[in-house]
Structures are given as C-alpha cells and as structure tokens.
Amino acid sequence: MKIAVIGSGVWGASCAYHLNRVGVDVELYDMWGPGNSRSGSGGASRIIRLAYGDDKIYTQLTNNSFRFWEDLSKDSERKLYDECGMLWLVSQDDSSYIKKSKKHIESVGQSIEQLSKKDAQKKYPIINFDDINEIYYEKKAGALMASRCCKNIVRKFKEEGGKVLLGEVKIDEKNLENKNSISFNGKNIEADKYVIACGPWNRKLLPKMLGEVTFISRQEVYYFGVPNDSVTKYNSDSMPCWLDLNSDNPSYYGIPFHLNKGFKISYDERSTPFDPDTSDRIPIPELVKRTKKYLYNRFPHLKNHPISETRVCQYENSFDGNFIINYHEENDNVIVLSGSSGHGFKLGPGLGELVKDILINDKDIPKEFDIGRLDNDNSSSQYYNAQIKYNKKKRLFN
C-alpha cells in the first residue's frame, strides 16, 4: 500500500513514522520542513502532562507517547525530553478538572498528588502562592524540545526508508472524489490513501469540511531573563513545568529556564484571530503588558527582569477543543487530522500510532474525534477556564 502524508508537523510526521514501520510505502510532504517556525510544532518546547480532566482518551494517548519520546531522546545527539514534572496551581475556586483527572492518571499507573501550601512554599520559594487555593504535582510530566523532536521523528523516518518531499501540496476539495485532486509541483500525487495533517492550513485547504468547525488563534510566548545569581532556581533542577488554573485571568503556564533562552511563560486563551500566512509574528504590546503584570506577581523575584526572547504562534482550534480525525465525506481514502486546539504536541506519537491502526488494521476512529459531534454540541471539557464560552455568531470563544 502507498500512503501520502501531507504535513510534517508532529502529527503528520508521527503518522508517517508509524506507517513506514509496518511496511507501508510512505511519502511525507511539507511546505517548509518539519517543525518549521510557522508551524504549530515549531518553537523550542512544549509541556507533556497526563492530567486531562475526565477526557481519558488524551491521558491514554499521552501515556502511549512517553516511551516513544524517551527512546527518541536517548537516540538523539541532544536531549529532547526533560522529565521535570508539572505543578498545577489552582487559583480559581473550581479544582474539578484536576480531581477528575486523578482516576485516569492512576489507571495508567502514574500519580498526581496534592501539596499543602506550606510544603509548596518551601519547595518552590520563587512562587507567590498567596492567591492559590490548591496545588497539585504530577511527576510523570515535563518538557519536550518541540521543533527538535519533530525533526528527529522525520530523521528516523528517513533513516528507516521513508521519503520526504519539500514543497506545497495543492488540494482541490470540490473534486476530491477524483484521483487528480491532490497535487505537488503540478503533478498528481498517486497513492492509495492520503493523510492530511496541515495544522493551521487545514481549513484553507479544506474549507468545505473545516471552515465552519475550526478557527485559528494567535498565541504569544515569552522567555524572561532570570536573576544572574540564581539560574538554578529557575531551571528544571528546582522548578517543574506549571499551569495556573485561573478564571479571572487567562490560564498562564510555563516551562522552567531551558536551552539557555529564559524562563518561558504563555497563556491558554483563544480570543485573537490569526492568519498563519499573513499575520506578523510580533507580540502585541497589551498582551506583553498583561503577561508582565501576571508574571511579576506570581514570580516576584523576576520583577523588572526583561523579556529575552519571544515567539508568536497559532493554535488550530476546533470549536469544542477536541481533535478531529475524520475521512473526508467526498473520498474515504482521504483522512483528515485537525483541531489540535493547542494541546496536540505531547501525544503526537500516540496519535500517529492510532491513525496507523485506523488505516491498516481497520480500527474504529474514536467517537470523541468524529467531526459529526460538532453539529450538535460545542460544549467543551478541554478548557481549563470554565468561564470560556463559545460565541456562535463570532465563531470564537469568549
């Protein structure tokens, strides 16, 4: 069987890798290469954690991905995975997201523990816990070196005989039932099956299928300088990854000082539209100001420390924050992977293996990922911030 995978972000690359391993003839296409700086999988780092509220499918897919990341990291010249743990700061009243996670985390043999404020203060003296209600710690969690990971998956895919082609793939969605509707350099891509995994470009390539059910949001990432005399207090020797479940502010999250860049902070909010082709990737002053206000309160010793590096990226969101894995209605040899919604990196390898089983072993697509669900119900359990509502008219969460 021959399968063409379009898009070598972490999702497409993982699918290509797993398909190639079971003897499929795989061609992997990408406009600018794996983990390129415009792609969702670009940039230095991503958090991997098991807590997912009651959505156990994500806990399981993440758990299925750990071994892959650990092996990939060992096999690479440079470290790709830092298992530094994950600290959940619950400053909102509702901690049900974490509480519901517990049984699913334990079902895969891992744990999440509540810490007293006193113990947490002692262990993490750089954090201001004044307005935090509850604190939880996940041990099996940490940071993945994102773009490096993605490039290394493709490196392994190539070492094992996979073929990578660089350039733009064009899709004529209106004629998708015809053989000549997916092309590269003016020639049809001949394959038995096609996997479309173009992240934020998916909805441009497949507007009929995805235009009404996905949207792209701007995400800004900042690295802050840390005090010269205490780098080790801010790196993974002393600090885990962290996320502040907060209903007044966006939920901020961060990764300890890494790759000599700085102390990373970003926010989980989907309120500013973004175009992956035309939007400038320069931070917006109001968002920088808001972040500094939050950071200087939560990490008071960083007060007045400057931003050392920034990055502007995008989420490819589905309207309920759950993934979309679906055959295209015009052609059931075309499977579309979409709606990674800002949480798709960590479980890329698990998802790639699932797609391999769907395509090769006739495994059913999990109902959670069926696009049909979006016809009826846009309520989400994905968002940490329970206040976020979906505005149907504006097609945005607000």
Ligand X SMILES: Cc1cc2nc3c(=O)[nH]c(=O)nc-3n(C[C@H](O)[C@H](O)[C@H](O)COP(=O)(O)OP(=O)(O)OC[C@H]3O[C@@H](n4cnc5c(N)ncnc54)[C@H](O)[C@@H]3O)c2cc1C
Range in contact with ligand X (rule: CB under 6 A) among 114-122, 153-161, 195-203, 365-373? 195-203
Specify the length of the chain in residues.
Answer: 398
Binding residues among 221-240 for ligand X as defined by CB under 6 A: 221
Please list, residue by residue across 146-161, b when 16 or more beta carbons sit within 10 angstroms of its beta carbon and e when fewer do: bbbbbbbbbbbbeeee
Among 240, 256, 321, 342, binds ligand X (CB under 6 A): 342
Measured from the CB atom, the residue of 47 and 135 that comes closer to ligand X is 47
Using the rule CB under 6 A, is 53 a contact of ligand X?
no
Q: Assign residue 262 a region: left if phi > 0, alpha if psi is -120 to 50, beta otherwise? A: left
- C-beta of 305 vs 346, nearer to ligand X: 346
Min separation Cβ 337 and ligand X, Å? 6
Is 64 a binder of ligand X (CB under 6 A)? no
Task: Please tell me the count of residues contacting ligand X according to CB under 6 A.
Answer: 37
Q: Which residues contact 335 (CB under 8 A, 6 or more apart)?
A: 193, 194, 195, 196, 325, 326, 327, 328, 355, 358, 359
Q: In the set 60, 266, 322, 382, which binds ligand X (CB under 6 A)?
A: 266
What does the alpha-carbon distance between residue 6 and residue 164 come to, in Å, rounded to a whole number? 10
The only residue of 5, 15, 47, 295 in contact with ligand X, by rule CB under 6 A: 47
CA distance 396 to 271: 7
Q: Which of residues 198-217 bind ligand X (CB under 6 A)?
A: 198-201, 205
| R_g of the chain computed on alpha carbons | 21
Residue 28 contacts residue 16 (beta carbons within 8 Å): yes
CB of 41 to ligand X, least distance (A): 3
Interface segment toward ligand X; rule CB under 6 A; list 37-45, 73-81, 113-121, 300-308: 37-45
Neighbouring-strand partners of residue 377: none
Q: Which residues of the shown chain bind ligand X in the complex (CB under 6 A)?
A: 6-12, 29-32, 36, 39-41, 46-47, 168-169, 197-201, 205, 219, 221, 266, 313-315, 340, 342-346
